[in-house]
Amino acid sequence: MINYEIQTDVIHLEKKMKTKTLILLSLLSALILLAACSAPAASADNPQATIDAAVQATTQAQSAQQAAIDAAVKATTQAQSTQQSNVNQAVQATLTAQPTPDYATLSEEELAALIETAVNQALTDYTATSSSVTQTTSDGTVTTDEVSATTTYVNNVYNEVAYADELIQAYYDYYGDYAEEALATMNAMEQDLSAISSSLDEISTIMAQGAEAATAAIDQLNAAAAAAQTKASDLQTKVKGLQDQVKTGLGQREKSVLDLPANNVADNQLGALNQAHDFLDAFKTSLGDGKFSPDELANIGQLGANARASLQKTGDPKLQGFGDMIGGLSSNAARGEWGKARGSMGDFERSLPARRR
């Protein structure tokens, strides 16, 4: 979560700068009066020289006053910039600390479930953020404490949105060539998440300028929160149907792989066992990068269909058991069950007799 001490220090710094500026202005005003009072008294001999000296002293004091004001403004601006920089760094640190799933062990269905959970968490956090903005602006004035609280809520949503987006990107990487319907939904979800982030950027930018600037921009804050709420409602509708789309796609893909007809059936046990090895070799190669492309899936599906038909034809119950293992591995590949595929592949390889020529 965001570092509250950083925010508190910056707020104290702003208060100190404002206090110092007021004190400095008071002192400079006194100096102007003192300069005017200490200027040489007008004399009958050279009244103009006396007037010029007084004017010069006053001008110099005014210049010093303006320089002090400029310096105070610059210091306050730098403090505000430091505050936003510290917030950004804290957000990045939180994202870095977020545990990243091992995608190589997740099935497609498990990854989709993680996406659903992450998006729902982002929506929950945004509801709290929206309530914070509404409460903050309801009385027409934004306080320093309200700025701090709203900024914390905003950053929480940043974290959740970024994590959900990371999971969606992983889904694209592993299953981008499959499941068109689910991918279309995820693309739309990603656009909603991006729109929510843009609204949060606007709110965060205003809050980083301090309570006074936030008070002056209440209408803008409410508009940004409303825009994000609209996208959040759209996103909630989309995420509800995601799991059903993924499950439907998985079922169809698995069926298409397992229902492939054999196009090369061996005449004997040796040929059947060698076909089982052909399947195993192709499976190991395809799984080497942690996923199956559509072409790889089609290839192992066909090799599996041939091997299963050949093993079945032998009539040997033991060899037919290898056919069942091939069917299980083909199912794992079709469903993106990488962890199961690796374990089952190892069992199959250890139990399969050596290839013979």
Domain boundary among 50, 66, 86: 86
Does any domain span residue 335?
yes
In contact, 334 and 257? CB cutoff 8 Å: yes
Global pTM? 0.69
Looking at the fold, whether 29 and 113 belong to one and the same domain comes out as no
Give the count of domains, the chain.
3
Does any domain span residue 81?
yes
| Res 61: pLDDT | 57
Domain boundary among 86, 111, 143: 86
Highest mean pLDDT among 49-63, 77-91, 148-162, 253-267: 253-267
DSSP-derived letter for residue 316 is: -
- Domain holding 58, by residue range, is 1-86
Residue 69 CB contacts under 8 Å (≥ 6 apart), including other chains: 21, 25
Does any domain span residue 347?
yes
Q: What is the pLDDT of residues 30-47, one digit of tens each?
A: 444 444 444 444 444 555
CATH code at position 111: 1.20.120
Cα(113)–Cα(115) distance, rounded to whole angstroms?
5
Does any domain span residue 357?
no
289-303 mean pLDDT: 92
Does any domain span residue 35?
yes
Looking at the fold, whether 168 and 308 belong to one and the same domain comes out as no
Q: Output 91 or 173, whichever has higher pLDDT.
A: 173
In angstroms, the Cα distances linking 292 to 236, 262, 285, 307, 323 are: 31, 21, 10, 19, 21
Range of lowest pLDDT (57-66, 115-124, 150-159): 57-66
Cα(240)–Cα(258) distance, rounded to whole angstroms?
29
Half-sphere exposure of 108 (CA within 13 A, CB side): 30
Looking at the fold, whether 79 and 117 belong to one and the same domain comes out as no
In angstroms, the Cα distances linking 235 to 159, 225, 244, 290, 329 are: 17, 15, 16, 30, 35
Looking at the fold, whether 195 and 109 belong to one and the same domain comes out as yes
Looking at the fold, whether 240 and 103 belong to one and the same domain comes out as yes
Looking at the fold, whether 31 and 107 belong to one and the same domain comes out as no
Looking at the fold, whether 173 and 241 belong to one and the same domain comes out as yes
Looking at the fold, whether 82 and 144 belong to one and the same domain comes out as no
Looking at the fold, whether 238 and 116 belong to one and the same domain comes out as yes
**Closest CA relative to residue 114, chosen from 154, 167, 183:** 167
Domain boundary among 27, 54, 86: 86
Looking at the fold, whether 229 and 318 belong to one and the same domain comes out as no
Looking at the fold, whether 220 and 303 belong to one and the same domain comes out as no
The alpha carbon dihedral of 208, 213, 215, 216 has a sign of negative
Looking at the fold, whether 174 and 311 belong to one and the same domain comes out as no
